[in-house]
A and B are shown apart, each in its own frame.
Chain A
Amino acid sequence: MGSFLLRRLWTMCWTLALVSALIFWIVNLPPGDVLTNQINQLRASGEASSVARAEFLMQEYALDEPLWKQYLIWVGAWPGPHGFSGILQGDLGWSFELDAPVDEVVGEAIWMTIALNFFVILFVYAVALPIGAIAAVKANTWIDYTATFVGYIGLATPNFLLALILYHKGAQWFGLPVGGLMGKEFADQPMSLAKLQDIMVHMIVPIIVIGTSGMAAMVRRLRANLLDELGKPYVTTAQAKGVGSVRTVVKYPLRMALNPFVADIGNLLPSLVSGSVLVSLVMGLQTIGPILLSALRSQDYFLSGFILLFVSILTLVGMLVSDILLAVLDPRIRFSGRKR
């Protein structure tokens, strides 16, 4: 198990390195970011102090260096103007648009994103497990068809539409708050019990909306797995021996079918994170989604680069967790590491 973990962590590290390079390249693709515009403006003004400032900015952000060196400085693997100070050292860079350090800009939003995605995952598992299991046991009955139908609709309806409708109906029928992750009065306050409660209430609709698409896929997968297991001889044996029907399902086949279900978090997390970015934009949640969009629009590349990197890290961690879970659940994977 130890060697498996080490191997898996090593893979994750170099994947992360490559991903970060790719992200840095992508955010630097569009010509004319905020900083370059600023520098050009300063230069065009022709005043000595402005030109000097432009030179200073060039120096400060190593803009005269080739892109690969800029990347290494950003990561913190190459001495920049201030020595080694990059993401590895905890210096996330500077947001030119908002004129504030990146970690200040994204601070709370990151925790909100993590919290939101965590609850969404809980929700998905809590709802998908019983529905999937019942759909499989009652295969080809109206329960199954309803579950399948709802699943398909969840798959096909874009999240933002669901968000709008649920907000509308939620406010109309249950008096749920519309938009945002917390009431205005709590926005700048430290965490308190009242604030926590307010956030919880605000999260209900977003969790349902973001969770629905992942849930649909989950239900279908669990149903398929469980159906496969239910057809196996050991189930017949259990039935023939007179084991109760609930026990027959829960004790053996469900356990077997759970393996891929649990491990599916590796697929679930990326899609949830992606989905939550879009939904946050539409619903005005204070997660990193809206910050990312505005950073991309204004080509504030330290900010957008860091957010993309963060989302990728979430994704990679999700995959790592799923691999570890699978290895814990299924010894065959643990021991069949190298030989291929």
Chain B
Amino acid sequence: MTPPPTDAASDPRDDPRRDPDAHWISDEPYDAEADLQTLERKDLDASTTVLIWRRFRQNKLAVISGLYLLVIYLALPFVGFFAPYHPGDRNADAIYSPPQEIDFLVGGHLVVTYPMVSSIDMDTFQPVFESDYDDPRPVRFLTRCSDPWTFLYLFETDFRLICPPEGASLHLLGADRLGRDIHSRIMHGAQLSLTVGLIGVFISFAIGMVLGGFAGYFGGWLDAAVQRSIEIIRSLPELPIWLALSAAIPANWGPVSVFFMISIILGLLDWPGLARAVRSKFLALREEDYVRAAELMGASTPRIVGAHMMPNFMSHLVASATLSIPSMILGETALSLLGLGLRPPAVSWGLMLNDALDLTAVEIYPWLLAPMIPVIMVVLAFNFLGDGLRDALDPYS
């Protein structure tokens, strides 16, 4: 603060007509609102969404997981294009064939593979596969091969990104007991295995939102009823009940209806967690001033809930939903594995693992366990993403 100027005559502020008490007044511009507008914390200078995004971006693992999941989910309709074979293609010469080797930049070709030559080991009577290194064959790209795949039930084409070389096979992850390409089957299996979780979460989300919302907003007997049912469903052992419900699906249903039933079953037992979260959020938010204000201004209940309360807890729900997708993916795997979930000719990771369910597989044909890798990766990615989201959700802490 500068001391008041001594030269009384030259300073207009000392003019008694302007300020009879001759107080010193700073000539810096004064804004009465300034206090209200300065931020309590420097970093909170944007909308909540932006803040959440900023916080989320710092968690590299979560961002990478999110991108990874985004890419594979976007690629789901096009798996037929990326996979070299149709999932049902049987190659009688490649039964239990181990993963085939590939080499890059050999003989002027980008990628070459070596045909597998099979023989029988006369001691163990097992087929033995060996790569014929003298006969490199170029892998074809962007051509037509194998049985046609269908794009979203719209049209059929046999145009593929990767095709096996002329006169040889391309089993990058080996082949199963019917000589089907495991690599292609994993890619096709992703379609069902990954959407089951998504649909299941959608169902559990819908039920959880509606019931939790009603319970939290209206309270009273409705709240009591919802809370009791939450308690009951939570006390049911998840997997055995899944088994019992899947066993109830009639055996003559088509693969698509079975798929939807499985998703519904997975979703039906998952909603209590979400409903609980929604309910407690509703209870907390109902007391907030801005909700009271909206009520007093005559806003309708749907508007209060939709416009004022939802944005406040939606992000929380998304995070917890993300965290419950992996358990559903694992659930589908378990159900199909036990023969109570999806049924052949549908292709899913669980069904593929059904073949790998004994120690012979681990010992002799370890590549049958390959579907494990995408299962683990997807489950981990969802966990990382969910954790990242959850941590980012409260940017004010």
- Which A residues are within 8 Å of any B CB, using their own CB? 11, 15, 18-19, 22-23, 26-27, 29-31, 152-153, 155-158, 160-161, 164-165, 167-168, 178, 270-271, 273-275, 277-278, 281-282, 292-293, 296-297, 299, 304, 307-308, 311-312, 314-316, 319
Q: Least Cβ distance of A304 to chain B in Å?
A: 7
Tell me if A158 and B340 are in contact (CB < 8 A).
no
Decide yes or no whether B232 CB sits under 8 A from chain A: yes
A-B CB pair tally, cutoff 8 Å:
115
Which of B92-100, B174-182, B243-251 lines the interface with chain A?
B243-251
Q: Least Cβ distance of A177 to chain B in Å?
A: 12
User: Contact check: which of B244, B330, B375 meets A27 at CB < 8 Å?
Assistant: B244
- B: contact size bracket: 35 or more
Q: Least Cβ distance of A27 to chain B in Å?
A: 6
Which residues on B sit within 8 Å (CB–CB) of A152? 380, 383-384
Shortest Cβ distance from B335 into A: residue:
A278
- Which B residues are within 8 Å of any A CB, using their own CB? 231-232, 234-241, 243-245, 247-250, 326, 330, 333-334, 337-340, 353, 356-359, 361-363, 369, 372, 375-376, 379-380, 383-384
14 A-B pairs with CB atoms under 8 Å apart are A15-B232, A19-B235, A22-B232, A152-B384, A153-B380, A155-B383, A156-B326, A157-B372, A160-B353, A161-B372, A167-B359, A277-B239, A297-B339, A319-B235
Other A-B pairs, 8, CB within 8 Å; known A168-B359, A270-B235, A312-B235: A26-B245, A165-B362, A274-B238, A277-B239, A297-B340, A312-B237, A314-B237, A315-B237
Which residues on B sit within 8 Å (CB–CB) of A292? 240, 243
Shortest Cβ distance from A32 into B: residue:
B250
Q: Least Cβ distance of B375 to chain A in Å?
A: 7
In the complex the two chains form, what is the Cα distance from A27 to B315 in whole Å? 38
User: Contact check: which of B237, B248, B362 meets A274 at CB < 8 Å?
Assistant: B237
Which residues on B sit within 8 Å (CB–CB) of A319? 235
In the complex the two chains form, what is the Cα distance from A204 to B243 in whole Å? 26
Which residues on A sit within 8 Å (CB–CB) of B353? 160-161
Q: Least Cβ distance of A294 to chain B in Å?
A: 11
In the complex the two chains form, what is the Cα distance from A273 to B241 in whole Å? 12
Which residues on B sit within 8 Å (CB–CB) of A158? 330, 333-334, 372, 375
In the complex the two chains form, what is the Cα distance from A256 to B8 in whole Å? 69
Tell me if B248 and A26 are in contact (CB < 8 A).
yes
Which residues on B sit within 8 Å (CB–CB) of A282? 357
- Where chain B touches its partner, the secondary structure class is helix
- Known contacts being A15-B232, A157-B376, is A30 close to B240, with CB within 8 Å? no
Q: Least Cβ distance of A138 to chain B in Å?
A: 20
The list of the 3 closest CB pairs from A to B, nearest first, reads A274-B239, A29-B248, A156-B379
- Known contacts being A15-B232, A278-B239, A311-B237, is A161 close to B340, with CB within 8 Å? no
Q: Least Cβ distance of A324 to chain B in Å?
A: 16
Which residues on B sit within 8 Å (CB–CB) of A293? 243, 338, 340
Tell me if A30 and B379 are in contact (CB < 8 A).
no
Tell me if B376 and A156 are in contact (CB < 8 A).
yes
In the complex the two chains form, what is the Cα distance from A11 to B230 in whole Å? 13
Q: Least Cβ distance of A77 to chain B in Å?
A: 19
Tell me if A270 and B237 are in contact (CB < 8 A).
yes
Tell me if B247 and A296 are in contact (CB < 8 A).
yes
User: Contact check: which of B231, B244, B369 meets A304 at CB < 8 Å?
Assistant: B244
Tell me if B243 and A315 are in contact (CB < 8 A).
no
- Known contacts being A30-B247, A156-B326, is A22 close to B236, with CB within 8 Å? yes
Shortest Cβ distance from B242 into A: residue:
A274
In the complex the two chains form, what is the Cα distance from A270 to B327 in whole Å? 14
- Known contacts being A155-B383, A273-B237, A308-B241, is A160 close to B357, with CB within 8 Å? yes
In the complex the two chains form, what is the Cα distance from A30 to B339 in whole Å? 16
User: Contact check: which of B238, B334, B359 meets A178 at CB < 8 Å?
Assistant: B359
Which residues on A sit within 8 Å (CB–CB) of B245? 26, 29
Tell me if B326 and A311 are in contact (CB < 8 A).
no
Q: Least Cβ distance of A152 to chain B in Å?
A: 6
Tell me if B235 and A296 are in contact (CB < 8 A).
no
Which residues on B sit within 8 Å (CB–CB) of A296? 243-244, 247, 340
Tell me if B379 and A308 are in contact (CB < 8 A).
no
Tell me if A278 and B237 are in contact (CB < 8 A).
no
In the complex the two chains form, what is the Cα distance from A333 to B249 in whole Å? 43
Q: Least Cβ distance of B239 to chain A in Å?
A: 4
Which residues on B sit within 8 Å (CB–CB) of A274? 237-240
In the complex the two chains form, what is the Cα distance from A167 to B361 in whole Å? 12
Tell me if B359 and A156 are in contact (CB < 8 A).
no
Tell me if A19 and B236 are in contact (CB < 8 A).
yes
Tell me if B244 and A156 are in contact (CB < 8 A).
no
Q: Taking each of A156, A299, A312, which has the highest tally of chain B beta carbons within 10 Å of its own beta carbon? A: A156
Q: Taking each of B333, B334, B383, which has the highest tally of chain A beta carbons within 10 Å of its own beta carbon? A: B334
